[in-house]
Amino acid sequence: AQKITQTQPGMFVQEKEAVTLDCTYDTSDPSYGLFWYKQPSSGEMIFLIYQGSYDQQNATEGRYSLNFQKARKSANLVISASQLGDSAMYFCAMREARMDSNYQLIWGAGTKLIIKP
């Protein structure tokens, strides 16, 4: 079974609108971390935001926020006031804390976001 599911292969959004990128996860580990990375067409992977499973507040970093709904196992990325430079692939990833996970990040398939002017 998929541990990280990103159901939106691609999205088109008008500039300045808010964007929500979906991510659901599956784990039985009570301690885990969730990450979002951005990969623009230039290819680099840029860390955006992190949410720990025990964090009480939703993580925020500038225009990025993570809508963490633990009971639903959902960790959606919200980008406020989208900009043309937000066009990129976005990856959701999870790390489980159990010893046999070897700290590997489990990656989703990604969502390609295109911001229209």
Partner 1 sequence: DAGVIQSPRHEVTEMGQEVTLRCKPISGHDYLFWYRQTMMRGLELLIYFNNNVPIDDSGMPEDRFSAKMPNASFSTLKIQPSEPRDSAVYFCASSFLRPDTQYFGPGTRLTVL
The residues binding partner 1 (CB under 8 A) are 33, 35, 37, 42-47, 50, 91, 95, 102-105, 107, 109-110
CB of residue 15 to partner 1, shortest distance in Å: 27
Between 28 and 42, CB nearer to partner 1: 42
Question: Is 100 strand, coil or helix?
Answer: helix
Rounded CA-CA distance 4/117 in Å is: 31
CB of residue 43 to partner 1, shortest distance in Å: 5
CB of residue 28 to partner 1, shortest distance in Å: 18
Rounded CA-CA distance 66/73 in Å is: 12
Rounded CA-CA distance 19/25 in Å is: 20
